[in-house]
Structure formats: structure tokens, C-alpha cells
Amino acid sequence: MTALTVQPQNTILDLTDSKLRLKDILKTLPRESFQRNRRKAWTMVLVNVLMVGLGYWAIQASPWFLLPFAWVFTGTALTGFFVIAHDCGHRSFAKRKWVNDLVGHIFMAPLIYPFHGWRLLHNTHHTHTNKMDVDNAWQPFRPEDYDEFGIVRRVGYRHMRGRLWWLASILHWGVVHFDLSQYEPKDRPKVKVSIAVVAVFAAIVFPTLIATTGVWGFVKFWLLPWLIYHFWMSTFTLVHHTLPNIHFSEPEDWDEAQAQLFGTVHCEYPFGVEFLCHHINVHIPHHLSTAIPSYNLRLAHRSLQKTWGSSLQEHRFSWKLMKQITDQCHLYHPESAYQSFKDYQGKR
């Protein structure tokens, strides 16, 4: 089943062409990239459920000194749950809307993430990628805005952009996705349904877990894997659009094709992470078209590599990369790019 039909072209497009359009880029991709495959989609679900199940078995079977490994494995596999729901949110998992909504709610419920709340705000990010004051995913603040922050917000921002980046996803989850004022009135009934789903899940699972395994059981089986999941969420989303040479534009200067193709980072993680998280970090084709299912992202990216070559932002995950981002990518001005807190000369 085809979400979007395009014909591949062998023409090399001019990177400097100010009239470069998103649809021109999409025409370079193989049409197979856009095809949903029911077998691949449900195999992804089955494998992910088995991996999460294996992780929970490892948690209950492991001696104390192996528990950290079990938590990392399980939390990473739970991140795969989010990626499945991510496909559902973009309607690239199944043809029927109700199937996408049902599967999305099921797989986000253990993460206590309201499906529709996330889906609606996430679509804003895709529509306005790297557009200053509009993009809502890890957009850096301007120095003049940072100057106006109160002390609490300033300290929080410094830490979330620094060595505590891995907690930022939790802050975003708690502050944004349960706040109905973030959504248009017409969308609020859907968001309320999603909040109710996670509330019911928590009301049933959390007391049952504590009653049967104690408070430590709750921490051991849910909280710590959940924290690992948020580590990956924070890391993935930060790296997707944050490097010293990634450009953010004023709304009046923003160019959709340039932002989606060159403002998005492809980052290779270790094989196990890519496998458990369904290659969501093959991120450039996903920004060109959310109709591409996660299992087709590598096919689309290989095509982009042939067409755009070294012009693409391609990196390999490392702590050196994270240090570069968290040391340099703090405050931003479209004319002078990133400024670190160390070099910041405004209010302290």
C-alpha cells in the first residue's frame, strides 16, 4: 500500500538553488520507500514485544550486579515501543486511521505518554523544522530571550543544554504533553482521551506492581527502564537537529527544502540500539516525508547519499559528539549561529 507515489530521478539537483523544492527532493527517492508493508510492520511489533519481554525476564532473573545491563536493554527496547507509536502518529504504520490510533495508544501507555498529545505537537515540529520561535523540538533560545529568564528557568536551561541533557525529555514530557492549553480547542477532546488512557494504565499497573513486588519492584521494573527510555529520547531528539553548523532561520527567511534536507542529522548508533529502536536515527528521509515507514528509512537514505553525498549531515554517535554539542550548542542567533554559555557575555 503506497502512502505517496513518486518517480525516482537520476538528476543531481543543485544544492545552491534557492528554488529547490521539497517535492523535487522526494522525486529522487525510490517509490518503494513510501510503501507500507503489513508483514514488516507487524513483524516489527512482534519482535519488539519479545525484546521487551526478554528485558523484563532479565530484570527479574539477574543478580544485582547484572541489573544495570538488564535496565539498559529493557529501556532501549521500550524506546522501540515509542518508535512504533511514532509511525502510528504519522499514519505510516497502517492504512486505517483507527489501527494507527489503537496501536499508538497501546504502545505509548507503558511509557505514560499521551499519544494524541504527542502526535499533534510533534507534527508542528515537522511542519516548521528549524524555524526560530516556531519549531517546538529542542530549539535553542536566543541570547536576548535567555537574558529575560528568571533564575530558575535560566539554571534549568543551562543544565538541559549541558551535561544533564538526558533529563530534558522528562521535563518536556511532564510540562508540555498534559497541558491542554498547548492544543487547539478542536484537538483537546482527543488529547483528553490519550491522557485518560495513560491515567488508567498507571492507576491499574502501578498499584498492582507495588502491591506484588513492593516499592523497590516499582523502581526496578518500571522506573529505571523508563529513565533509560528517556535517556534515549533526550539523546536522539537533541542530536537530530543540534550541531554547531546546523542552521536555524527566522520565519521570514525559512526555506522548507533546505531545513528538512540539511537541518536534520543522520547519526549511526551501535547495532543493538539501531535494531531495538527501528533505525529512527536514519532521520533525514523521515523529515523529507513522514509517510516513509521506519523500516524503509535506510532504503531512502541510501538514495539520498547517492544524490547529495557529503552535503548531508552524517555522524556516528560518540561521547565526543555529545561533548561537542553540550559544550557549544547553547544560545543561538541566526546571524552568528551558536554561542556557548562559556562565551556568553549577557546577564549572568
Q: pLDDT tens across 281-304, in order?
A: 999 999 999 999 999 999 999 999
Query: Is pTM beyond 0.95 here?
Result: no
Q: How far apart are CA 53 and CA 230, in angstroms?
A: 19
Q: What is the pLDDT of residues 157-212, one digit of tens each?
A: 999 999 999 999 999 999 999 999 999 999 999 999 999 999 999 999 999 999 99
Q: How far apart are CA 285 and CA 95, in angstroms?
A: 20
Three-state SS for 37? coil
pLDDT of residue 3: 36
Q: How far apart are CA 288 and CA 34, in angstroms?
A: 11
pLDDT of residue 7: 36
Whether residue 347 is predicted with pLDDT greater than 70 in this model: the reply is no
Q: Is the distance from CB of 168 to CB of 234 less than 8 angstroms?
A: yes
Whether residue 348 is predicted with pLDDT greater than 60 in this model: the reply is no
Structure confidence at residue 19 as a pLDDT band (50, 70, 90): confident
* CA-based nearest residue to 248, from 140, 326, 323, 321: 140
Q: What is the pLDDT of residues 26-79, one digit of tens each?
A: 999 999 999 999 999 999 999 999 999 999 999 999 999 999 999 999 999 999
Three-state SS for 43? helix
More confident residue, 346 or 262: 262
Q: How far apart are CA 59 and CA 149, in angstroms?
A: 42
> What would the mean pLDDT of 98-125 be, rounded to a whole number?
97
Cell of 106: 497501546
Angle at 335 between CA 147 and CA 246, to 5 degrees: 95
Structure confidence at residue 96 as a pLDDT band (50, 70, 90): very high
Q: What's the one-letter identity of residue 341?
A: F
Strand partners, 332: 338
Query: Percentage of the chain surpassing pLDDT 90?
Result: 87
Contacts of 172 by beta carbon, 8 Å cutoff, 6+ apart: none
Cell of 148: 529575560
Q: Is the distance from CB of 234 to CB of 165 less than 8 angstroms?
A: yes
